Amino acid sequence: MIIFDTETCGLHGPIVLIQYAYDDGPVILHNPWMVPIGETMELLLEFCTHEGGVCGFNLVFDWFHVCQMYTTLQALVHYGNPKDTILGSCVNAYANCEADARFGDCMKPVTALDLMLHARKGPYQSTMNRADIKIKRVPTLLAEALANELTKRIKLKDVYFARKKDYRKRWQVEDIENEKGDMVPDFKDIVLRFAPSSALKALAEDALGIDTKSVTRFAAVEVHKDRAPVEYGYAPYATAVGSEANWKGAWPDVISTHIQHWEHNELARQYAEDDVTYTRMLYEYFGKPAAGDNDSILACMVGAVRWRGYSINVEKIKALRADAVQRQHALGFNFNSPAMCRKYVTDAMSDTEAGILVVDGKVTTKAVILESVAGWTASSVCTDCNGMGCGKCEDGLIESEDPHLAAMRARGILNARHAAKEVELFDKLLTANRFHTSFVVIGTKSSRMAGADKLNPQGIKRGKEVRSSFPLADGDLILCGGDFKSFEVGITAAVYPDKHLIAQLKTGKKIHGIWGQKFFPTLSYDEIMASKGAEDPWRDYYTRSKNGVFALIYFGTEYTLQTRVGLGETEAIAGYAAILEEYPDFAEQRKVVVKRFCSMQQPAGIGTKVEWHEPEDFVESIFGFRRYFTLENQICRVLFELAEDPPKAWTRLKIKTVRRERVQTVSGAARSALFAAAFAVQSANMRAAGNHIIQCTGAETNKELQCRLWSLQPAGITKWHIQPMNIHDEIMAPMLPECIPEANRIVTSLIDEYKKHIPLIGIDWGDHLESWASK
């Protein structure tokens, strides 16, 4: 096995040092700019053809750069530069070859092992990004004491704060502001802000017990930030920034500094050598895991595919951009200004209605609040009772189907913000003249891929107008691809088998239309289905119903139906109750999952003593991928214990305060805040557990199909045979015509095989597609 790592000029520029070793052999440092072109090409060819494969830490990054460098050297030779030329003598020529090099050969190792991804499948999953934990509205008198007590009781690893300037800081006391922006003197928030690192050195330090002082951090050896290149992750080549006449800060302007730094700075070179040493030590620590797992294989695939990119229709993208610009400016004011948006919306509200914009004492115009307002309908006084209340109305009012004026204004703000995001996306695509997809292979704790490098492929609208602008395939490749049918719903039926739900799914009717009748009881199934794609998105009851389906299968509540479907409070409560009543098996299975992770229970009923019941440590997908809750459970238990039995010095304080309109002692208020925080952590765990079983099962199924399709690409350095991409529940795969029959067989075989796990699984797969919209 070849264990390797790279140092690069910036994040997206060329390699300036390759450090590698064969198995237990010596670490070799290779500076491609100080040697003949052919020497580096031979080394990278060896990476692709070595029978033991490659081992690295974050192979998506390093394999992208391997592909970027080899194909550019390939182009450099093609344009007349001899292989015995020292690369450092032709910087500009190399830079001018990059854009064409994207169309070069595909590079695929024989096999691969990514130890970063391997770590994310076990307890080191906890080093992935995580939400802060906040204890809200703690009496100021006890805030510092509580922060200190939490720091003392909860022993947290330094790795969870490794990206902080001072990693020793844990629970912090923070001021609270009211809706006017004034500080609230009587209360503080106590916040635990994580800054975990899953970097190689951080994991090596924690796992291997290496002395902190002996670990050299990148910040200590990197080239000075003044010499960092101007670069774009979505257009990762120099001529996307400038040209030979004026590189405008792109990597050719600064690379000489990077070359010399990694060639002559001994501390930097030791850091680079340590990369391979620590990777090898982690390989031993993890028990020498076998290469060739799906995630590691996909890491190299994602790196290779990102460099090549996909074809786009530039003229169509320009037209879409022009339309989005018009929609972006339709409001005539700054839609990102909270003050202006607040005034615009509240001018159409009563004082009582305006209260919806106040969250935790602050006025907000965040999307989740505006989405709730956007579903409001207009109401009129009931003429039968003149507003006094009767059987024909609700509190004297009769709702209509017409939108509330505030709803229209909220929609306008949301539409403008969405248009601005579209303009940003289109600008990035037009800069690159291609679609460079970048993914983190295990981007979430449920194993799903996540977009990266400032262009999120998963955020591109599904509408045909947009996706028809992505032909994706070019050269000799033909576009193939498809969507899994009712994917998440089918997995839900397998995980939480409900006889009624399964029977409905087998009829061929769309579950979004069926459940939509619970959300919009005045509409028929056919009316909901016919509304799909309506010009007014708020009249697109199909899409709104679809949002409701996903909200509920992912453990949403009545409130989620308000924010995601745009239902009023009464309609949301009724719709939620109707779904759980119609699908009792589904409802009961949800309860089973909740109970597994419900650590704080009240066996005697609401209002009685809260008891701690040890929750489970992890949840598994159908295929066994675990989502761990070790850290969350640890914190939750301490919050609970401290709330149940606070220090005696606190309880002796008889000072009273008013917290959330309730008179309490300061000790009682602190206990209430602790219980609230503990229940918030527990609720998040229960939702994440329920989500994981479905989302992770879907992610692993997608990854398995991608890997099987990627097997059509030969190992080594060859022409492109297939170029897969996964977006949510769909896989698009430009491929050579001769690969199509075998690809179709692979897809059919996987579906047949996986029916034993997911009986209702299916896929709409097609070939010879015109664009991403044609599937």
Q: How confident is the model at residue 165 (pLDDT cuts 50, 70, 90)?
A: confident
The span from the CA of 308 to the CA of 438, in Å, is 11
Q: How confident is the model at residue 566 (pLDDT cuts 50, 70, 90)?
A: confident
Contact 481, 744 (CB under 8 A): no
Reply yes or no on whether the pLDDT at 397 is more than 80. no
* β-bridge mates for residue 172, sequence order: 191
Mean pLDDT of all residues in 14-23:
98
pLDDT in tens, 426-457: 999 999 999 999 999 999 999 999 999 999 99
Q: How confident is the model at residue 387 (pLDDT cuts 50, 70, 90)?
A: low
pLDDT in tens, 748-767: 999 999 999 999 999 999 99
Per 3-state DSSP, the chain is made up of helix, strand and coil in percentages (nearest 5) of 50, 15, 35
pLDDT in tens, 691-750: 999 999 999 999 999 999 999 999 999 999 999 999 989 999 999 999 999 999 999 999
Tell me, what's the pLDDT at 383? 67
Tell me, what's the pLDDT at 608? 77
Higher pLDDT, 234 or 486: 234
Reply yes or no on whether the pLDDT at 390 is more than 80. no
Tell me, what's the pLDDT at 375? 79
Structure tokens at 597: 């992770």
The span from the CA of 450 to the CA of 427, in Å, is 21
Tell me, what's the pLDDT at 162? 86
Reply yes or no on whether the pLDDT at 5 is more than 90. yes
Reply yes or no on whether the pLDDT at 77 is more than 80. yes
Mean pLDDT of all residues in 495-512:
92
Q: Taking Cα atoms as reference points, which of 492, 652, 649 lies closest to residue 149?
A: 649
Q: Letter for the amino acid at 201?
A: K
Q: How confident is the model at residue 654 (pLDDT cuts 50, 70, 90)?
A: confident
Q: How confident is the model at residue 353 (pLDDT cuts 50, 70, 90)?
A: confident
HSE, CB side, 13 Å, CA atoms: give it for residue 354: 14
Q: Taking Cα atoms as reference points, which of 169, 152, 147 lies closest to residue 670?
A: 147
Mean pLDDT of all residues in 70-82:
97
pLDDT in tens, 609-623: 888 999 999 999 999
Tell me, what's the pLDDT at 621? 95
Share of the chain above pLDDT 90, in %: 78
**What is the pTM (predicted TM-score) of this model?**
0.92
Q: How confident is the model at residue 212 (pLDDT cuts 50, 70, 90)?
A: low
Reply yes or no on whether the pLDDT at 364 is more than 80. yes
The span from the CA of 308 to the CA of 311, in Å, is 9
Q: Which residues of 273-300 are buried (b: 16+ CB within 10 A; e: fewer)?
A: bbbbebbbebbebbeeeebebbbbbbbb
Contact 33, 289 (CB under 8 A): no
User: What angle, rounded to 10 degrees, do the helices at 541-553 and 487-495 form?
Assistant: 30
Q: What angle do CA 108, 109, 110 make, to 5 degrees?
A: 120
The span from the CA of 73 to the CA of 164, in Å, is 39
Structure tokens at 462: 């599904």
pLDDT in tens, 283-320: 999 999 999 999 999 999 999 999 999 999 999 999 99
HSE, CB side, 13 Å, CA atoms: give it for residue 302: 29
Reply yes or no on whether the pLDDT at 394 is more than 80. no
Q: Taking Cα atoms as reference points, which of 11, 398, 366 lies closest to residue 223?
A: 11
**Phi then psi dihedrals of residue 15, to 5 deg:** -65, 140
Tell me, what's the pLDDT at 18? 98
Is 191 exposed, middle or buried (CB count within 10 Å of its CB: 0-12, 13-18, 19+)?
Answer: middle
Tell me, what's the pLDDT at 147? 94
Share of the chain above pLDDT 70, in %: 98
Tell me, what's the pLDDT at 166? 78
Mean pLDDT of all residues in 517-546:
91
Reply yes or no on whether the pLDDT at 388 is more than 70. no
Chain position carrying tokens 């939108």: 403
> What is the rounded average pLDDT for all residues in the chain?
92
The span from the CA of 659 to the CA of 190, in Å, is 15
